[in-house]
């Protein structure tokens, strides 16, 4: 058991427990605001809150049972570490996260009559559902091209979110602008990471497999393989490239998800009446 990988794994587990506790604190704080908030906004924020809870739980599951889908590598010798189980949990969690973004963006876009933000809100979930399809393709067939397309679609979603937040900026003020600034910084950092680290990593793996003529699994073979095959490894060389994205995914992204449930309402700016 490599000590560095083991320390990283323990850290992820501890942080995930902290994230789950943070969600309960977030939910308690949310319920206290019920009497002072707009009922319509409150009901949608409740949906976003529960979506964040599912996302945090999914990330906690994946922190306790880390796995590398295409290579069929994991840290815990259990059927729960199978790629089929792990990919299913990841799919549900990721759809919950992008749904949070879409709901908030749709609300904000309609409130300030931003057609661009509203359109992006309607596009986000179908876009990520497509990404999840390519992720499943990569997991089942072990073909890294699926991962390249998946991560490229997520990168595109990040760019669209940045553009939407910028479009909302002129219609915001005070706490709204603080929220938009935080989301722009997070989304920009995410896009930079994806473009410089994540997408190139999968691209190079795909090119390496292509150069040696790797034989990929059919979808039918992949289902059986993803259900049954998982190899336990604590080797640093195996996990080295996975640690950066997993750490950010299971910590920072969860914090953003929790933050979304407490996003400010976007209301249209009051119309200035002409002087008489």
pLDDT at 34: 64
Please check whether residue 116 lies inside any domain of the structure: yes
Please check whether residue 268 lies inside any domain of the structure: no
> In this prediction, what percent of the chain has a pLDDT beyond 70?
93
Query: For 122-164, what is each residue's pLDDT tens digit?
Result: 999 999 999 999 999 999 999 999 999 999 999 999 999 999 9
State the pLDDT confidence band at 25, using cuts at 50, 70 and 90: very high
| Model confidence, pTM | 0.92
pLDDT at 241: 93
What DSSP assignment string belongs to 92-146?
HHHHHHHHHHHHHHHHHHHHTT-HHHHHHHHHHHHHHHHHHHHHHHHHHH--HHH
Q: Write the CB contacts of 40 (distance below 8 Å, at least 6 apart in sequence).
A: none
Please check whether residue 98 lies inside any domain of the structure: yes
pLDDT tops 60 at residue 272 = no
What DSSP assignment string belongs to 221-270?
HHHHHHHH--EE---HHHHHHHHHHHHHHHTHHHHHHHHHTTPPP--PPP
Neighbouring C-beta atoms of residue 148, cutoff 10 Å: 22
Tell me which residue range forms the domain holding 168: 3-30+39-260
Q: How many domains does the chain have?
A: 1
Please check whether residue 51 lies inside any domain of the structure: yes
Please check whether residue 13 lies inside any domain of the structure: yes
pLDDT at 274: 47
Please check whether residue 275 lies inside any domain of the structure: no
Query: For 96-130, what is each residue's pLDDT tens digit?
Result: 999 999 999 999 999 899 999 999 999 999 999 99
Across 77-89, average pLDDT: 96
More confident residue, 274 or 227: 227
Please check whether residue 152 lies inside any domain of the structure: yes
More confident residue, 1 or 206: 206
Please check whether residue 269 lies inside any domain of the structure: no
pLDDT at 38: 64
Mean pLDDT for the chain overall: 92
CATH number reported for the structural domain that contains residue 96 in this entry: 1.20.1070
pLDDT at 39: 66
């Amino acid at each position: 058991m490599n000590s560095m990988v083991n320390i990283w794994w323990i850290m992820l587990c501890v942080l995930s427990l902290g994230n789950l506790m943070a969600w309960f604190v977030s939910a308690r704080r949310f319920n206290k605001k019920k009497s002072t908030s707009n009922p319509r906004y409150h009901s949608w924020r409740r949906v976003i809150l529960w979506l964040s809870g599912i996302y945090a739980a999914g990330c906690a599951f994946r922190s306790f049972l880390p796995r590398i889908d295409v290579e069929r590598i994991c840290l815990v010798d259990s059927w729960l570490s199978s790629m089929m189980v792990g990919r299913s949990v990841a799919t549900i969690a990721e759809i919950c996260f992008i749904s949070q973004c879409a709901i908030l963006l749709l609300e904000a876009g309609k409130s300030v009559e931003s057609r661009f933000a509203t359109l992006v809100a309607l596009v986000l979930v179908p876009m990520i559902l497509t990404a999840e399809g390519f992720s499943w393709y990569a997991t089942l067939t072990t073909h890294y091209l699926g991962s390249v397309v998946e991560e490229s679609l997520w990168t595109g979603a990040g760019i669209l979110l940045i553009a939407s937040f910028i479009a909302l900026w002129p219609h915001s003020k005070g706490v709204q602008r603080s929220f938009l600034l935080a989301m722009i910084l997070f989304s920009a950092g995410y896009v930079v990471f994806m473009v410089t680290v994540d997408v190139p990593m999968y691209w190079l793996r795909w090119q390496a497999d292509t150069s040696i003529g790797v034989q990929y699994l059919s979808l039918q073979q992949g289902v059986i393989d993803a259900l049954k095959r998982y190899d336990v490894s604590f080797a640093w060389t195996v996990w080295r490239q996975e640690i950066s994205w997993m750490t950010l995914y299971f910590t920072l992204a969860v914090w953003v998800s929790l933050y979304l449930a407490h996003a400010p309402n976007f209301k249209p700016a009051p119309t200035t009446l002409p002087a008489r």
